[in-house]
Structure 1
């Protein structure tokens, strides 16, 4: 079935007629660098936990210190919350044996879901180069994870193609290889027009990619945040989105309200097109994500502390 006819368009009141109660949500966090950031993260986790997400994930970067922070954060979530936790893992800056040790450690800690990524080049390096003794790319990493254990494996998808890919076709071929290697789900990088996602679904179907393609949703609150994420994933920023934040540089609370409304509308339109799974990039801040879920009708049980 083709989805490309669902336009971003204007806000349709009919989309808000019923609460989105049968949707599955998941949240992404990143490991904190300072005690203050750790406090903020745990406040966010505790606020979002009652929303009963399908899982939460913790990002992972190159370098030993980042790996240790990720593992420490994942382990604490597993031990101190009821949340199903997924650990990100990349190929950057580590040998195959080092990465395999991390995979086995996660398995021992009770983590059964890994988000397998190639990873970005370290800061100051122009392009990604595999470790001489490491996994070559995400497809190779998925195979390695499969060899070690029966994990659920998510991989990244790029509705507007990865910045390093020469064409969308090459990117789709790469995603197909990751799925054939054993990935069970793909999570998209951010996008801002529902049509972009639905066209991408059509392309995936034509390539025989048959795993769930979960849309990644990012509530954007500042121009700097927008530029950073877009530079990393190649997403197109529509003119209407930039205009929505014009004149709000000194009005952070208004920016947050606008960001929440835009993201909630995006989810409603995706839901109207049949999407039932959504992955929220929280930036370790609960308020916006909680507000969006509230507007959609996805709320904690009555009587939950703080409600």
Structure 2
């Protein structure tokens, strides 16, 4: 079922989750165990992140510098297939612009279509230092709106090559939104206009970047509606679980951590920081549900231990 169909048919707000593939050389069993922990809470879909190749430079003993290109977390497509067919939960792989050509993207989309995976999240991706292998006959998607347009073309049966009687795909496309403004945007209005361009290119729903102050999301969602963005807008929440995240999350995701949360987390013993984060996320979620959001998307990374402490009482709250 498509993500938008889940929201349209839901009789109560939905709780979805986002996980990451295992590192290269690691077993998929640990990740599938996370899905197993989430399954009793009836997630309509689970997102699986994707990571492009990363370039590093290593100094050698002879003084030279060697360039290495690595894929740290391969296996998004395979993990999505395992989730969808082992657990019966719709999987949403992330499809990236950066690090991939349009030709590579088309190949991946064809594979997903063959697998019966028809939900995607189209994102630009983090800067990794690795550029796509482009030649005169190969092209790239510079922005997420370009990627959405490519997927929309395939949904209309238009492929990169002019194929006779090409079968259209049937992808439901999500995109990211930024309540606190994307780092590359000069202002919030400019950022919302670019989000609108992604929707006009064919995006079916929006999932927000994590935030810890609901005022940011509610004001941003209101401005999105005023700008003419009519697709579902879903808030994304992250549970603070360590003191290290007080500096890591703002630096990595450009999100502000409210003073009250930061003070309480710093004052807590190391083993109780997650309790503070769980209580904060629960209050955030309850307020958002009262505001009428269609669901909540939890960024959980590699463990379900903390999120179930938020999701279980919320299930009782929404009936």
TM-score (norm 1): 0.83
2:231 corresponds to which residue? 211
- The reply to whether residue 144 of structure 1 matches residue 150 of structure 2 is yes
Moved over 4 A (4+): 34-37, 128-132
Matched-pair contact (CA < 8 Å) for 2:50–2:74: no
Show CA shifts across 1:58-106 (max 9, x none).
0011127457411121121122111111110101111110111011111
Measured in 1, the distance between the counterparts of 2:179 and 2:252 equals 13
1:104 aligns with 2:110: yes
Q: Which runs of 5+ in 1 are unaligned?
A: 1-20, 300-307
Quote the offset at 1:226 in angstroms.
3.8
Q: Is contact 1:121–1:129 with CA below 8 Å preserved after alignment? A: no
Q: Quote how far apart the aligned CAs of 1:38 are.
A: 3.1
More strand by proportion, 1 or 2? Answer: 2
Q: In the alignment, which residue of structure 2 is the partner of 1:280? A: 298
Aligned partner of 2:286 in structure 1 is 268
Query: Which structure has more RCO (C-alpha within 8 Å, separation ≥ 6)?
Result: 1
Structure with bigger gyration radius: 2
Cα distance between partner residues in 1 of 2:96 and 2:73: 10
- Structure 1 residues 131, 277: closer, same or farther in 2, change over 3 A? farther
CA separation of 1:209 and 1:215: change in aligned 2, threshold 3 A: same
Check whether the contact 1:58–1:74 (CA below 8 A) recurs between aligned residues. yes
**CA distance in structure 2 between the partners assigned to 1:298 and 1:100 by the alignment:** 42
Count of paired positions: 273
Label 1:138 to 1:185 Cα distance change in 2 as closer, same or farther (>3 A). same
| CA distance 1:37–1:295, shift in 2 (3 Å) | farther
Map 1:291-302 → 2, pairs under 5 A: 291-298=309-316
Residue 126 of structure 2 aligns with which residue? 120
Using a 3 Å threshold, how does the CA distance of structure 1 residues 131 and 195 change in structure 2: closer, same or farther? farther
Q: Corresponding residue for 2:59?
A: none
- Could you say which residue in structure 1 is the equivalent of 2:205? 185
Say which SS state the counterpart of residue 199 (structure 1) adopts: helix
CA distance in 1, matches of 2:246, 2:76: 24
Matched-pair contact (CA < 8 Å) for 2:243–2:266: no
Q: CA RMSD, aligned part only?
A: 2.1
